[in-house]
């Protein structure tokens, strides 16, 4: 866009220097924890004077952290398993209905992603408290499902807009009922989009902290809730370990997805 100004070296250098600083600002906090996770010390010294795997042992050896990890993985899996089919049906519905009905349905389904998390969290807490369900897996699960539905829809709406509906009409005219048309045609054709919707729904749940903080408790505490509590109380280097593992997994997933798209 600025190629009309090849001579303006100074402005170019200034712009890129500034851009590099801003990018460093964005990436630094994620990277700085990696060496700390391998530190041998109780203190957060940087760079660490000696290296060890003691914080990894601490994490994988702690029943509390492992319980939280298990809870988070179960929640993420259940969230994806429930939110993606519901989102798929809803997106098929809005795609076929069109007009005001579709806009209204989409508006309602988007509400959880617009309303501040803290409001959903305390509202859900009140409702669950009235039913005696605070601290149950169910309470956190429904909260995560409503947050994951809009995320899944973001992937599925454009995929369904590209979908050739003549195939479904052909199948229907040949006697397939809707269940068969959806299971036999729509699902296989959208499998890539469904896969990324599943992944994003899973990540939404894994990353969600505010609802967990208010609604989960005891053995049902999620990993983010435990991380939050230990960040607020003292700075435990175990968090550096979790952060490193987390970043590594995310980078791996992104790399796999991009490489798959290229091939």
Partner 1 sequence: MSVAADPALAADGRRERRFFLSLSLPALFIVGLAAILPLLWIVRQSFLTTAGQYSVGNYEKVLSSGLTWSALATTLELSLGTLVVCIILGIPLALALASTRPRVANVLMAFVMLPLWTSILVRTYGWLVLLRRDGLINAALTGSGLTAEPLPLVYNFTGTLIGMVHYMLPLFLLPVYAAMRDIDTNLTRAAASMGATLGQVIRTVILPLSAGGIFSGSILVFIYTIGFFITPAVLGGGKVNPLSIRIERTLSTFQDWGSASVLGILLLVLMALIAVMFLTARRLMAHNKMGAAHA
77-to-81, 142, 199, 223 alpha-carbon distances in Å: 6, 13, 9, 14
Instruction: Identify the CA nearest to 245 among candidates 36, 71, 26.
Output: 36
Residue in 206, 216, 220, 221 binding partner 1, rule: CB under 8 A: 206
- Is 239 one of the binding residues for partner 1 (CB under 8 A)? yes
| C-alpha triplet 31, 259, 241: angle, nearest 5° | 25
- Is 94 one of the binding residues for partner 1 (CB under 8 A)? yes
Q: Which of residues 209-238 bind partner 1 (CB under 8 A)?
A: 209-210, 214, 224, 227-228, 231-232, 235
Candidates 54-62, 145-153, 159-167, 190-198: pick the segment binding partner 1 (CB under 8 A).
145-153
184-to-155, 161, 163, 231 alpha-carbon distances in Å: 20, 18, 14, 48
Tokens representing residue 74 in the block: 């179960």
- Is 93 one of the binding residues for partner 1 (CB under 8 A)? yes
Residue 232 Cβ, how far from partner 1 at the closest point, in Å? 6
- Is 193 one of the binding residues for partner 1 (CB under 8 A)? no
- Is 178 one of the binding residues for partner 1 (CB under 8 A)? yes
- Is 240 one of the binding residues for partner 1 (CB under 8 A)? yes
- Is 62 one of the binding residues for partner 1 (CB under 8 A)? no
- Is 44 one of the binding residues for partner 1 (CB under 8 A)? yes
Tokens representing residue 162 in the block: 């590209």
Which residue's CB is nearer to partner 1, number 14 or number 66? Answer: 14
Give the integer Cα–Cα distance in Å for 127 and 129: 5
Residue 92 Cβ, how far from partner 1 at the closest point, in Å? 6
Tokens representing residue 142 in the block: 């429904």
Candidates 26-34, 55-63, 161-169, 190-198: pick the segment binding partner 1 (CB under 8 A).
26-34
Q: Which DSSP string do the residues of 47-63 spell out, in sequence order?
A: S-SSB-SHHHHHHHH-H
């Amino acid at each position: 866009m600025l190629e009309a100004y090849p001579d303006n070296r100074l402005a170019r250098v200034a712009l890129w220097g500034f851009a590099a600083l801003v990018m460093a600002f964005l990436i630094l906090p994620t990277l700085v924890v990696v060496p700390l996770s391998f530190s041998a010390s109780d203190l957060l010294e940087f760079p660490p004077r000696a290296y060890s795997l003691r914080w990894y042992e601490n994490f994988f050896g702690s029943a509390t952290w492992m319980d939280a990890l298990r809870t988070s993985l179960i929640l993420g899996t259940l969230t994806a398993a429930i939110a993606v089919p519901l989102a798929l049906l809803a997106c098929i519905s809005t795609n076929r209905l069109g007009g005001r009905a579709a806009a209204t349905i989409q508006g309602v389904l988007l509400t959880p992603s617009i309303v501040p998390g803290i409001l959903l969290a305390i509202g859900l807490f009140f409702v669950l408290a009235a039913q005696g369900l605070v601290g149950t897996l169910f309470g956190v699960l429904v909260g995560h499902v409503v947050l994951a539905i809009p995320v899944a829809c973001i992937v599925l709406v454009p995929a369904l807009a590209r979908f050739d509906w003549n195939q479904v009409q052909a199948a229907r005219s040949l006697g397939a009922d809707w269940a068969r048309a959806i299971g036999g045609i729509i699902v296989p054709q959208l499998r890539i989009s469904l896969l990324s919707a599943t992944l994003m729904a899973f990540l939404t749940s894994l990353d969600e902290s505010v609802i967990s903080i208010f609604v989960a408790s005891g053995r049902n505490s999620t990993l983010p809730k435990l991380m939050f509590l230990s960040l607020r109380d003292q700075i435990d280097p175990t968090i550096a370990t979790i952060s490193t593992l987390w970043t590594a997994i995310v980078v791996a997933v992104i790399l796999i997805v991009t490489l798959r798209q290229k091939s």
